[in-house]
Structure 1
Amino acid sequence: MKVLLSGHRGYIGAVLTPYLLERGHDVTGLDSDIYRACTFAGDLAEIPTIEKDIRDVGKDDMIGFDAIIHLAGLSNDPLGDYRPELTNEINFKASVDLAALAKQAGVPRFLYASSCSTYGASGSEFLDESAPFNPVTPYGASKVNVERAVSLMADETFSPTFLRASTAYGLSPRLRFDLVLNNLTAWAFTTGQVYLKSDGTPWRPIVHVEDIAAAYTAALEADRSLIHNKAFNVGSTTENYQMVEIADIVSSVVPNCQVEFAPDAGPDTRCYRVDCNHIARHLHSFKPQWTARRGVEQLYDAYCSSGLSLDDFEGERFKRIAHVKKLIRVGELGEDLRRLPAMSRAIA
């Protein structure tokens, strides 16, 4: 299948690209690559690339593809909160425009990277895909709005699918440290503390980035009738944890560390547990391989191999919001988060 993968140089995209290639798909990337200086370990797969901001893509860029997998956007709550109007412009409007262009260009499938953050503040009950949306951040709201708008485009020629990923973790060439399991393991490795900034009670589903890649691959290859205009919670129902449980797993794997709470630690309004039985029933080739403990072990080994320091993971290189602010400060990125001409050179 000829696939256009937006955000192929990001945290998930850097893992998904080789998955698709190994399955024999013809993959073209679409990415402005503002995180080109943020590679942690390993190389990114070399594929044909449209190096554009997602807001600047045209219909001609879409022609000839069998499917579009749309990952690109502001990737987390801190970035989403930074300038909410840009979150709306990039994550919502540009995503809906991309889907409309894809439909006009005759692309039959559109896989959208939604998120379980659409459930937001939902308590401790298990939620399936029919649960009401209740986002508590601009990032979560943008995902809800895209789902609602793109769903209305579905017809006999255009088939959207919405993959609501649990909170990601695990090793990627474009590693993120702002994800809870990656972050807690890094704190433990570099400081001896598993540092919780909440009171540890909120629930969160988590899923390894490789399992997310496997879910996209399964949806891409599934019969249209199984995925047409449907949403899927991505993960395993057994992989829902309270934050303190994740902290305890980290402390049991990383030597000589203990769980610590920030002085102002309090409840987090983001609290939800998800039921992932729908994807298990309908996409039989999707079989998650990872657990939280295996993920911590993988990250701990990687941090040991790289000699990760506190400055590394708390610094501007690997923290998405800090890196974006740095690029604006040094004139590599505009206030609208578009790349400026100077971005053509590597950023130290």
Structure 2
Amino acid sequence: MRVLVTGHHGYIGSVLVPMLQAAGHEVVGLDAYYFEGCTLGEEPPEVPALRLDVRDVTPEHLEGFDAVIHLAALSNDPLGDLRPECTYQVNYEATAHLARCAKQAGVPRFLYSSSCSLYGASDDGFLTEEAPFRPVTPYGHSKILAEQALARLADETFSPTYLRNATAYGASPRLRGDLVVNNLVGYAVTTGEVLIKSDGTPWRPLVHVEDIARAFLAVLHAPRERVHNEAFNVGRTEENYQIREVAEIVQQAVPGSRVRFAEGAGPDKRNYRVDCSKIQRVLPEYRPQWTVAEGVAQLRDAYQANRLTLEVFTSARFLRIKRVLELQRAGLLDADLRWRVKSPEVKEVKP
């Protein structure tokens, strides 16, 4: 297939694109390139790409594609809270706009990177895809609105699928240090302390970034009737953990480290466990390969191999909110997160 991947330059995209290529697909990227240079290890190979804000897509940009995989978003709660109206513009309105353009251009398949964060605050046991939405942040709410907008477009010509990813972790060329497992390992490696920033009790479903990529491949390859207008929790049911359990896994993996609670650490309203049996049942070819313990070891080794320091790990290179604020202070991004000038260090690659 010829596949457009929005956000191809990000944390998930830089892992997914090589998998798509290895499976024989022709990949074109589309990205705003906020995080150019924010790399752990070597830069991933370039692919043909459009340097474009997803808000500015037109149907002409999407002609000739067999599928759109839509990853691009303001990707976490701190960034989502920075300016909530911008979060809704990018994560909801731009998603609906992109889908309308795709449908107009005749793109038959649309794979949307949603999130289990739309379940928000729940103590109702394991949540299936039919569970009520209880978002506690603009980020989580924006994902609900985007799914609903896509569902309104679904018909015999346009087939959306919603992949509700569990909380991601794992090594990626475009590492994010603001994800809980990545963060706990980073502090353990650079300081010797596994720093918990909540009271440790919240539950999270966790999934390795490579297993998220595998889910997109499984949906892309699936017969349309299996995935049309369907939502899937992405991960494994047995990979739900309390944060303190993750901290203990990290402590065991990083010799000499110890668990410490951050000053003022308290309850986190985000608390949910997720049932991932539907994706395994409907798409048996989806075979996630990672556990948290294995991912922690991978991260430890990657951080050590790159001689990561606390200063670098907690810098704008790996923390999305810091990077965006840095670009704004430099006068490169405006309040709506649009480029004031084209970032000079990124060349535009034409598809």
The aligned residue for residue 76 of structure 1 is 76
Q: How does 1:118-267 map to 2 (within 5 A)?
A: 118-123=118-123, 125-267=125-267
How many positions carry a matched residue from both structures?
Answer: 347
Whole-angstrom distance in 2 between the partners of 1:321 and 1:10? 14
Q: How does 1:296-307 map to 2 (within 5 A)?
A: 296-307=296-307
Q: Deviations over 1:300-321 (max 9, x none)?
A: 0011111100001111221100
Instruction: Decide which moves more: 190-199 or 42-51.
Output: 42-51
Whole-angstrom distance in 2 between the partners of 1:299 and 1:260? 19
* Structure 1 unaligned spans of 5+: none
SS in 1 for 2:210: helix
Q: Deviations over 1:267-287 (max 9, x none)?
A: 100000000000000111110
Q: Please, what is the CA RMSD of the aligned residues?
A: 1.1
The aligned residue for residue 27 of structure 1 is 27
Q: Which runs of 4+ in 1 moved over 3 A?
A: none
The aligned residue for residue 274 of structure 1 is 274
Q: Deviations over 1:238-296 (max 9, x none)?
A: 00000000000000000101111122111100000000000000111110100000001
**Does the CA contact (< 8 Å) of 1:333 and 1:343 recur in 2?**
no
Whole-angstrom distance in 2 between the partners of 1:6 and 1:102? 12
1:75 partner letter: S
The aligned residue for residue 85 of structure 2 is 85
Q: Is 2:283 the counterpart of 1:293?
A: no
* Structure 2 unaligned spans of 5+: none
2:58 partner letter: G
SS in 2 for 1:106: coil
**Does the CA contact (< 8 Å) of 1:70 and 1:113 recur in 2?**
yes
1:166 partner letter: A
Whole-angstrom distance in 1 between the partners of 2:123 and 2:287? 27
TM-score norm. by structure 2 comes to 0.97
Q: How does 1:88-99 map to 2 (within 5 A)?
A: 88-99=88-99
2:28 partner letter: T
SS in 2 for 1:152: helix
Q: Deviations over 1:131-157 (max 9, x none)?
A: 011110000000000011111111001
2:188 partner letter: A
Whole-angstrom distance in 2 between the partners of 1:145 and 1:170? 28
SS in 2 for 1:255: coil
Whole-angstrom distance in 2 between the partners of 1:331 and 1:161? 37
2:293 partner letter: R
Following TM superposition, by how much is the alpha carbon of 1:124 offset from its aligned partner in structure 2, in angstroms?
Answer: 5.4
**Does the CA contact (< 8 Å) of 1:124 and 1:203 recur in 2?**
no
Identity %: 57
Whole-angstrom distance in 2 between the partners of 1:169 and 1:80? 19
The aligned residue for residue 13 of structure 1 is 13
